[in-house]
Amino acid sequence: MPKRRPAGKSPKSERAGTARAVTLGIDLGATKAVAGAVDAYGRVVATSDRVRHANDGPAGVLRAVVESARQCLDRTSARPRVVGLSVAAQVNPTTGTVEYAPNLRWRDEPVGPVLEDALGLPVRIVNDGRAATLAEWRYGAGAGAHDLFCLVLGTGVGGSAVVAGKLVEGATHAAGEVGHLTIVAGGRRCHCPNSGCFEAYVGGWAIADRAREAARSGAGPRPDDVEAITAEGVFAAGRRGEPGAVRLIRETEEYLCAGVVSIANAFNPEVLVIAGGLAAGQPGWVSAAATAVRTRCQPPAARARVIAAKFGEDAGMVGAAVWAREYR
Ligand SMILES: [Zn+2]
């Protein structure tokens, strides 16, 4: 099992002032990879460009990962001893295998060993939700919390729990996958084998699907316009006050609140951080979720502080660096 240091503590060598000690954290997404050199205080001291890939299989995608790492290293004199990779996938950190990555369409890919050969450094892989949790817990909105849950709202819905000062791993490294809590029995089909999942209502892909269905059932939009609908487009239409978008966003907020209340009751966190690009696009959701927790949770769980994440796009690289440095 991975070992970790107590929350909020830095290694002695780092506290002693070796400020140039960095860890390379890489965030691999469905369309691009970006690498950052992260110092002992969670600061990103150098980054690569966002290196795009065609999502055309492991060879091409991992070339983009290696390119991002090399770009970043070219931009700093600091030399990392270990590399962390955050990826939206079920991973086995012990073997470095990406077991299942639906957005990349990978199964059982030996990503860690391939990258170690290419970079000449140890590579440790972490699920993206867990990376965001580590960033927020160690340096962000939940720094120092003993019990924390970080909910990550993006194309999918992920998350991870810190319980009694320890990141919860689960038997197969998959604890905290609250996107697949059933919130509507017999409800919408999910990308997982279940239906009615939290993610099937609140994930970015699900918001787009629901908006497409609403558009098809109404009069007006051409079929190609319907196919081009995205969650970001729905949010933009909501800001313009378009009634259909406003209604769909409000419904989504209700699903979000249902999920957040369940999470707070189940995990009893001191702090519940709401992270991810989707949350950044709808800042009102944090206060709605906070009100729901305060008024609808069981009284002890209702004391959880519901707050917005501190890290934006850097969460994956910072969390991957924390994972690589501290969990082995
Ligand atoms: Zn699901």
Q: How far is the CA of 197 from the centre of ligand 1 (A)?
A: 5
Q: What is the mean pLDDT of the chain?
A: 91
Q: Find out whether 51 and 32 touch, Cβ atoms under 8 Å.
A: yes
pTM: 0.89
Q: How far is the CA of 267 from the centre of ligand 1 (A)?
A: 19
Does 297 score more than 90 pLDDT?
Answer: yes
Does 232 score more than 70 pLDDT?
Answer: yes
pLDDT of residue 3: 44
pLDDT of residue 6: 42
Token pair for 121:
């450094």
44: phi then psi, degrees, rounded to nearest 5:
-90, 110
Which band of pLDDT confidence, cut at 50, 70 and 90, is reported for residue 219? low
41: phi then psi, degrees, rounded to nearest 5:
-105, 15
What's the average model confidence in pLDDT over 214-222?
A: 74
Tell me how far apart the alpha carbons of residues 130 and 162 are, in angstroms, rounded to a whole number: 10
Q: How far is the CA of 271 from the centre of ligand 1 (A)?
A: 25
Which band of pLDDT confidence, cut at 50, 70 and 90, is reported for residue 35? very high
pLDDT of residue 223: 62
Q: How far is the CA of 131 from the centre of ligand 1 (A)?
A: 20
Q: How far is the CA of 285 from the centre of ligand 1 (A)?
A: 21
Three-class SS state of 123: strand
pLDDT of residue 306: 98
Does 282 score more than 60 pLDDT?
Answer: yes
Q: Find out whether 88 and 101 touch, Cβ atoms under 8 Å.
A: yes
Tell me how far apart the alpha carbons of residues 233 and 236 are, in angstroms, rounded to a whole number: 5
Q: What confidence tens digit (pLDDT) does each residue in 244-274 have?
A: 999 999 999 999 999 999 999 999 999 999 9
Which band of pLDDT confidence, cut at 50, 70 and 90, is reported for residue 1? very low
Q: How far is the CA of 181 from the centre of ligand 1 (A)?
A: 7
